[in-house]
Amino acid sequence: MKKALLSLMALLIGAAALAAPSPSLVIYNQGWAIVREYREFVLKAGINEVRLTGIPGRLDEGSVKLRSLDGDIALLEYSFRHDLAHPSTLLDRYLGKKVQLISDRSVQEVELLSHRQGLIVKADDKILINPPGWLGLPLFEESAHEPTLDCLIEAGAMGRHLVELTY
């Protein structure tokens, strides 16, 4: 009975190891490395927005490759966000979106148009350049200090897709 149980456990462990490929890491001189990892996505047929977390902060953006292991998907575009705690990078996320312009006397909903050469917002039917006050930004769901890879992925079919991510 013990032998049969041990054999069954060994078989199950072996099957699990075959089902999920192991990540790999190759380290080179001068601090460079190639990481190959595997992730599972649940995608709808068509275009999907996917946010990947757990990405290193020192990613070479040109090295990103995504390959489907079990289906028809294509990486259309991606954006690496690694410095979200910096005010300029954070404000980039809200360009074209509604934010609050807060002054000593009021709070006004405005659309953020630009912030690079000074603050430019649209309020009602006016464009305001460097208005007095502070901006209040809505909270977003992910951590502002964690690097992410925002991907646009096209899937040929709905369902679970196992992918190989290399960077």
Task: Look over the chain and give the mean of its residue pLDDT values, rounded to a whole number.
Answer: 85
* Fold adopted by 87-136: SH3 type barrels. (2.30.30)
How far CA 142 is from CA of 78, 93, 121, in Å, comes to 17, 12, 25
Supply 81's token pair: 């966000």
Q: Taking a C-beta distance cutoff of 8 angstroms, is the pair 100, 135 a contact?
A: yes
pLDDT tens profile 123-142? 999 999 999 999 999 886 55
Note if the pTM is more than 0.75.
Answer: no
Task: List the chain domain ranges.
Answer: 23-79+147-166, 87-136
CA 121, CA 143: separation in Å to the nearest integer?
A: 26
Q: 57: pLDDT confidence band, cut at 50, 70 and 90? A: confident
> For residue 98, is pLDDT > 90?
yes
